[in-house]
Amino acid sequence: MKKIFLCICFCLLFSCVGYEPLFSTKNLSFYIEDIKNVNNDIITKKISRNLNIKKLKNKNKNVYTLEIESNLKNNITSKDSKGDPLTFNIAVNVKVKVFDKKTNILIDTVKFNKNVNYNNQSNKFNLNEYKETIKENLANKISQEILIGIQSL
């Protein structure tokens, strides 16, 4: 029984040795030289921070400049009989303009829209922490989609 357990553990540990993220920075055919934030809000800053990691210079790669504009809306979607909020919705709209660095010509404009519904909580500190986690996750998803979109240019 112990041998079977050890074999299973051994196989599980060493089966992930060759793991590499799908969109690792080594495989990108471009690099982002500059990111301009149109409005200086939380979502735009988080997306810029995520994309700044991708600034790997290489002579053979396309060089882009990004202009990012985002809009965050936090709405109450339902209320109870007393008028207290039950559920909320966070909607994030991001518009990204991709410019060629050498010619400074607009290559493409891409828009991303993400929505998340969540329930109200009695502990307001936990609710605020949960909202921040949602914003961080939305920024990460949009950052990945931006990379996918630029890679296909």
Structural domains in the chain, CATH included, are 23-151 (3.30.160.150)
User: What pairing do the DSSP bridges indicate for beta strands 30-37 and 62-79?
Assistant: parallel
Tokens linked to 89: 């919705």
User: pLDDT of the chain along its 153 residues, tens only?
Assistant: 666 655 565 555 555 555 455 445 455 677 788 888 888 888 888 998 888 766 556 666 788 889 999 999 999 999 999 989 999 999 999 999 999 888 889 999 999 999 999 999 999 999 999 999 999 999 999 999 988 888 887
- Token code pair at residue 148: 């996918």
Q: How far is it, in rounded angstroms, from Cα 149 to Cα 145?
A: 6
Determine the pLDDT at residue 23. 47
Return d(Cα 70, Cα 141) in angstroms, integer. Answer: 14
Q: Measured in Å, how far apart are the chain's first and last C-alpha atoms?
A: 55
Structure tokens at 12: 């599980």
Spatial contact of 66 and 32, defined as CB atoms under 8 Å apart: yes
pLDDT, position 22: 47
pTM across the whole model: 0.76
